[in-house]
Amino acid sequence: MSNILIIKHGSLGDIAQASGAIQDISENHKNDQIFLLTTKPYFDLFKKNPFIHEVILDKRLPRYNLIYLYLLMRKLKKHNFSKVFDLQNSSRTNFYKNILFPKADKIVWSSSVTTLPSDQNKEEFDKISVLERFNHQLKESDLNTSHTLKPDFSWAATDISEIKNFYKLDKYILLFPFCSPHLTIKKWPHYNKLIELISGRYGDEYKIVTAPGPSEINEAKDINSIALLDNGRALDISQLTSLIKGSSFVVANDTGPAHITAHVGAKGLTLFGKHTTAYKVSIERENFKAIEVTDLNNLSAEKIFERLSNSLS
């Protein structure tokens, strides 16, 4: 039995996307112990993943913090990993490779760099969709890939019956009008108009809810919907996953909750401006689709409502 390391630091959307690759790595190493190196926001979450035996915390302190770096590398070396699957594929994780396995090829250290197609450079390869890149990486590492292209994030869900009972949730439409403060280009501005259209057509048949993150609770007051909290706190990732999974329809900006929606099989729409494409981030699924426009300000609430109502009919 060998020890296998997977590296996946974040972000939330990336964690959901990597679920299939993690499952494939585990199923190709049934007789081995699977460890995962991640950051604090996802440490407890990954403990729930049935394909991982142990989770290791990386505080991601600055590289010039030599004491921390030494202790982390010593901890990793103690496990004597026979293979590493770098699903983060960042400059930081490449730095780790140069410390742990400086001469390793794809047989020992699987990354987008070590498995790069011979006819492409890294810049060209990164234009391929996220899931296709994962799939190529694992296949080049001699793995069979049954789940990488169709990740299932349902493992992250938990029981939220108390929250649903508190808010008397039965049928509900879930909106994610938020985005990171430095990524406002992803923000669609017409959620309140959409809420008006939904209420006008469906009345009390569906409750309209949001699930703000810790830094979004005040912003949620500007949205004419129920802001779901757990005793005044933002839902954690597992609670959020369950809420999304049980929804009738989701409308979201291109953020982490949109990727969760895509990979738990829920119905919905995500809205893209010119910041990237739905193809590149591998977000469209059977039940979850994207609308792509040049300027999100010009995307009408009526168009979103038409797609939503057609799906609910």
Kindly report, residue by residue over 97-115, the tens digit of the pLDDT.
999 999 999 999 999 999 9
φ, ψ dihedrals at 27, nearest 5°:
-70, -20
Q: Residues with Cβ < 8 Å from 304, sequence gap 6 or more?
A: 190, 194, 251, 269, 271, 291
Q: What are 225-258's pLDDT values in tens digits?
A: 999 999 999 999 999 999 999 999 999 999 999 9
Please give the pLDDT value at position 119: 85
Instruction: Quote the tokens at residue 46.
Output: 């990954």
Residue 275: pLDDT above 90?
no
Q: What is the average per-residue pLDDT within 67-91?
A: 97
**CATH numbers and ranges of domains, the chain:** 3-152 (3.40.50.2000), 160-312 (3.40.50.2000)
Q: What are 124-150's pLDDT values in tens digits?
A: 898 899 999 999 999 999 999 999 999
Cα separation of 246 and 207, whole Å? 13
Please give the pLDDT value at position 184: 79
Q: Strand pairing of 268-272 and 288-292?
A: parallel
Please give the pLDDT value at position 249: 98
Cα separation of 266 and 261, whole Å? 5
Cα separation of 12 and 291, whole Å? 21
CA angle 147, 246, 256 (to 5 degrees): 60
Beta bridge partners of 84: 5, 109
Best CA proximity match to 267, nearest among 252, 288, 282:
288
Strand ranges inside 87-171, DSSP E: 109-110
Q: Residues with Cβ < 8 Å from 288, sequence gap 6 or more?
A: 250, 258, 261, 262, 266, 267, 268, 269, 270
Q: How many residues does the chain have?
A: 313
Please give the pLDDT value at position 181: 77
Cα separation of 2 and 48, whole Å? 22
